[in-house]
Structure formats: structure tokens, C-alpha cells
């Protein structure tokens, strides 16, 4: 148990669907992140939030829309995704938004049909 919980663990969606990924951290951290992990590719940073404010958007397509209502919760809203968006989406938190010593959740395995 890392203190970072992601739901759902698995998600299958069609290209016209709208779905949301949820992340909650119980560590009292100030920063939260979304990462994408594709097969045979390194982890890719998508978004960074610090004290609920977005501090980084790593050129992510607008079909991915993050939301951070407070320092403990992070959402990733998905709409009109493409099959190439199928991947493991990992949420992480850290005490500060310097990307150091990340605590990761177990991820949501997303399949886009």
C-alpha cells in the first residue's frame, strides 16, 4: 500500500465514450501527477498539480482533461480517445512539485476500442 489509490484498475472504452480516472492520496503531499506508461516506452509525464494548481501540461492532447479539486484528489477526464491511447495511466504524488521521490498508485489499465 503506497498511500495512493487509483480507480478503476481496468477500463475498456469506445472511442466515443466519456470516462474519468480517479486518484486519491493519503500522504498529505502537495503535488500530484499523471503519467502514461505504454508498452516498450518510458514513463511519460502528462500533468503536474501543486496545491491544486496545474504547473505543467506536457503537450498532452485536449482529449485528456485533468481536474484537481483539492490536494488529495486528482481526476483525468477522457473523451473521444484513440486506440493508441491504450496504456497504463499512473497517478503519483510527492511532497513538492519537483518530481522527486514520487509515490505511485497501481494505475488504471485503459483499453480503447
Partner 1 sequence: GESVGLHLPTLSVQEGDNSIINCAYSNSASDYFIWYKQESGKGPQFIIDIRSNMDKRQGQRVTVLLNKTVKHLSLQIAATQPGDSAVYFCAENIKTNNNDMRFGAGTRLTVKP
Residues in contact with partner 1 by the rule CB under 8 A: 2, 4, 40-43, 45, 48, 55-56, 58, 90, 92, 97-107
Residues forming a β-bridge with 87: 110
Work out how close the CB of 56 gets to partner 1 at its nearest, in angstroms, rounded to a whole number. 6
Work out how close the CB of 42 gets to partner 1 at its nearest, in angstroms, rounded to a whole number. 4
Residues forming a β-bridge with 36: 44, 89
Omega within 30 of 0 (cis) for the link into 58: no
Q: 14 or 54: whose CB is closer to partner 1? A: 54
Work out how close the CB of 63 gets to partner 1 at its nearest, in angstroms, rounded to a whole number. 22
Q: What's phi and psi for 63, nearest 5 deg?
A: -70, -10
Amino acid at each position: 500500500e503506497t498511500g495512493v489509490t487509483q480507480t478503476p484498475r481496468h477500463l475498456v472504452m469506445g472511442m466515443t465514450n466519456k470516462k474519468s480516472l480517479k486518484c486519491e492520496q493519503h500522504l498529505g503531499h502537495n503535488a500530484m501527477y499523471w503519467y502514461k506508461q505504454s508498452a516498450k516506452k518510458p514513463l511519460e509525464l502528462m500533468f503536474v498539480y501543486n496545491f491544486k494548481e496545474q504547473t505543467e501540461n506536457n503537450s498532452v492532447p485536449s482529449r485528456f482533461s485533468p481536474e484537481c479539486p483539492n490536494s488529495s484528489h486528482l481526476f483525468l477526464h477522457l473523451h473521444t480517445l484513440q486506440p493508441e491511447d491504450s496504456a497504463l495511466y499512473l497517478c503519483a504524488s510527492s511532497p513538492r512539485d519537483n518530481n522527486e521521490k514520487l509515490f505511485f498508485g497501481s494505475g488504471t489499465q485503459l483499453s480503447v476500442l
